[in-house]
Amino acid sequence: YAPEDIIEYDYEYGEAEYKEAESVTVGYPL
């Protein structure tokens, strides 16, 4: 997953701190 895609997804999620975490891939619905 590209860093831009993660930022865009997190932006919709409303968790800016989540994108900074490496465990963001764990909460990825895709």
Whether 20 is covered by a domain: the verdict is yes
Q: Please report whether residue 7 resides in a domain.
A: yes
Residues 1-30 pLDDT 10s:
566 665 565 555 555 555 555 555 555 555
Is residue 21 assigned to a domain?
yes
Proportion of the chain in helix, strand, coil states, percent, rounded to 5: 65, 0, 35
Residue 4 covered by a domain: yes
Number of domains composing the chain: 1
- Say if 19 falls within a structural domain: yes
Burial class (CB in 10 A: 0-12, 13-18, 19+), 18: middle
pLDDT at position 19 is: 54
Domain that holds residue 13: 1-25
Is position 17 within any domain?
yes
pLDDT the model gives residue 7: 58
Q: Are 6 and 27 in contact (CB under 8 A)?
A: no
Please give the pLDDT value at position 13: 57
What is the pLDDT at residue 18? 54
Would residue 14 count as lying in a domain? yes
Residue 30 covered by a domain = no
Q: Give the whole-angstrom CA distance, residue 13 versus residue 29.
A: 11
